[in-house]
């Protein structure tokens, strides 16, 4: 089951890369910014009315076809897994976090195993690859640790959760926009994913519901 959900996360990651690629192509050539939701709704024939160049049409069609194929594969996995989901009691509070539903909650549970193996929240967020792997001395970067330490599947899961929480939590969206203005989209998403990871640690450890006021105070 864990391996199947890992495959789902891999498909989500690949789909996101194709969505970003098509978004970039549309912005460069049409000076239009299309949302990820809008990209997912496109059909291959829509590319013909969007671009004049046959090469751009072909590139867009390939992106759209791949996005639609991966979306269907993701849905197939979710349909098969959902009836079998049985989240342990200590992980049920995860579902109070906006953007973390049954599938993501189950994924996080299977990847974490036993929460008590993480003494502190910093240990947990580090294992989730949500913080920089750097060693500092007197405020200056001296070295960096092995960036492959931790769990890449939890990293992907919390990035997905960060993208979802922005839709349902206005304070999360404000936090993201502040980071976006300063450092760009990738850094903003990772910063928000770290926030969500840290919040989920306390939510699971203390068996309490998510409180956005505490997270974004």
Residue 55 CA to residue 35 CA, distance in Å, equals 23
Residue 24 CA to residue 27 CA, distance in Å, equals 5
- What Cα–Cα distance (Å) separates residue 15 from each residue in 40, 122, 142? 10, 30, 36
Which pLDDT value is given to residue 142? 47
Q: What is the pLDDT of residues 34-79, one digit of tens each?
A: 988 999 999 999 999 999 999 999 999 999 999 999 999 999 999 9
- Residue pair 88/115 in contact (Cβ under 8 Å)? The answer is no
Q: Is the pLDDT of residue 140 over 80?
A: no
The answer for residues whose C-beta is within 8 angstroms of residue 107's C-beta and 6 or more apart is: 5, 8, 9, 153, 157
| pLDDT averaged over every residue in the chain | 90
- Residue pair 94/100 in contact (Cβ under 8 Å)? The answer is yes
> Residue for token digits 């068996």?
207
Which structure tokens are listed for 96?
Answer: 């109070």
Phi, psi (deg, nearest 5) at residue 58: -65, -45
Which pLDDT value is given to residue 136? 42
């Amino acid at each position: 089951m864990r391996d199947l959900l890992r495959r789902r996360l891999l498909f989500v990651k690949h789909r996101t890369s194709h969505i970003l690629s098509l978004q970039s192509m549309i912005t460069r050539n049409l000076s239009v910014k299309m949302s990820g939701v809008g990209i997912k709704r496109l059909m291959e024939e829509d590319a013909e009315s969007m671009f004049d160049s046959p090469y751009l049409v072909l590139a867009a069609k390939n992106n759209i076809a791949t996005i639609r194929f991966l979306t269907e594969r993701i849905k197939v996995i979710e349909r098969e897994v959902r009836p079998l989901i049985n989240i342990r009691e200590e992980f049920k509070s995860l579902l109070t976090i906006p953007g973390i539903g049954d599938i993501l909650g189950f994924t996080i549970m299977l990847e974490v195993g036993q929460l008590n193996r993480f003494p502190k929240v910093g240990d947990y967020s580090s294992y989730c690859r949500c913080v920089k792997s750097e060693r500092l001395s007197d405020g200056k970067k001296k070295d960096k640790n092995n960036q492959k330490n931790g769990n890449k599947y939890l990293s992907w899961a919390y990035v997905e959760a960060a993208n979802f929480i922005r839709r349902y939590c206005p304070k999360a969206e404000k936090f993201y926009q502040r980071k976006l203005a300063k450092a760009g989209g990738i850094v903003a998403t990772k910063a928000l994913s770290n926030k969500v990871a840290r919040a989920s640690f306390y939510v699971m450890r203390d068996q309490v519901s998510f409180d956005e006021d505490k997270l974004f105070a």
